[in-house]
Chains A and B, each alone.
Chain A
Amino acid sequence: MAKGLIGRKLGMTQVFVGGEELIPVTVVQAGPCTVVQKKTQEKDGYDAIQVGFGEVKPHRVNKPRMGHFRKADVAPTRVLREFRVDNVEEYEIGQELKADIFQPGDLVDVTGTSKGKGYQGVMKRHGFSGGRATHGSMFHRGPGAIGAKVAPGRVFKGKKFPGQMGNRKVTVQNLQVVEVDAERNLILLRGAVPGGKNGTLVLRDAVKAAGQ
């Protein structure tokens, strides 16, 4: 069964696992998430649950959203996300999902918004080599040639150019759950996740749970 949680990145640290290795982990505040709406095949064309996460002051919520929360009779939350589930019946509106729906050893996919780098050149953005810095070189950080002349007589679509880097949706797959603290709703994931501290993350069961 697919399952997921919304969380907040708290930062990174290292932990000794099983009295052995020191491994790098990202600490995620995952949950509590409230089920706000159930979507069903008959009504919406697919089965999913909509969950909310994060405190928000009631006066910050606009009226249409407030109505949505009121209908479910739950406190308003900052973020709303949907998770496709096999069986909607397992969930109740108003139910709280906690970090313990994941177990240590599980593999998860983590989606977040990467740190924005602004408008960047091809060297930083795409890893081009650029030119030499000295010895009379007048070509330093440019992209170089971008294609042939008469044939095809145009620049191919998708050619790597300077542009906005970062600040986009990024998913990291197959991160291992190292520890789960149900009491404090913390999940420790091995390795890094997209975005900065306090960024909103979505944790789901790994789509490609390889080697399991």
Chain B
Amino acid sequence: MNIIDQLDREQMRMDVPYLRSGDKVRVHYRIKEGEKVRTQVFEGVLIAQRRGGAGATITVRKVSFGVGVERIFPLHSPRIERIEITSHSKVRRSKLYYLRGLRGKAARLKERRFS
């Protein structure tokens, strides 16, 4: 294995859960405010994943007070405390950008259950 890949692997976290587009997730993210460090939870729908070793990211979307908010998290960032998956949805594509154009009832996703 070449050294670049090796370094990349060393950067990666092994505790990242298996995620899929459409999953409802809660991302516990450490935020530094001056001296203090606190954890903020960002809860929303995972609408996109970018693969690529240690540089992988996820895009999480939520609607807050009628305003759509999206955050991109580096998946292997040490600032992420943990990622909770609350539910899965039945989706037919990997990038759910079409949700941006929908609001309210239309922006719902059908839940997918595993037996």
Contact = CB atoms under 8 A, between A and B. Distances in A.
A11 B54 CA distance: 15
A184 interface: yes
A188 B3 CA distance: 12
Contacts, number: 37
A156 interface: no
Contacts of A20: 78-79
A14 B54 contact: yes
Given A14-B55, A27-B3, A184-B3, A19 B8 contact: no
Interface of A: 10-16, 19-20, 22, 27, 29, 184, 186, 188
Contacts of A14: 11, 54-55
Given A22-B55, A22-B77, A16 B11 contact: yes
Interface string B51-62: 000110000000
Given A10-B3, A27-B3, A15 B11 contact: yes
Interface string B1-36: 011100110010000000000000000000000000
Nearest to B52: A14
Contacts of B77: 16, 22
A120 B2 CA distance: 34
Given A22-B55, A27-B3, A186-B3, A13 B8 contact: yes
Contacts of A12: 4
A15 B78 contact: no
15 contacts: A10-B4, A11-B4, A13-B8, A14-B11, A14-B54, A15-B11, A15-B54, A16-B11, A16-B74, A19-B79, A20-B78, A20-B79, A22-B55, A22-B77, A184-B3
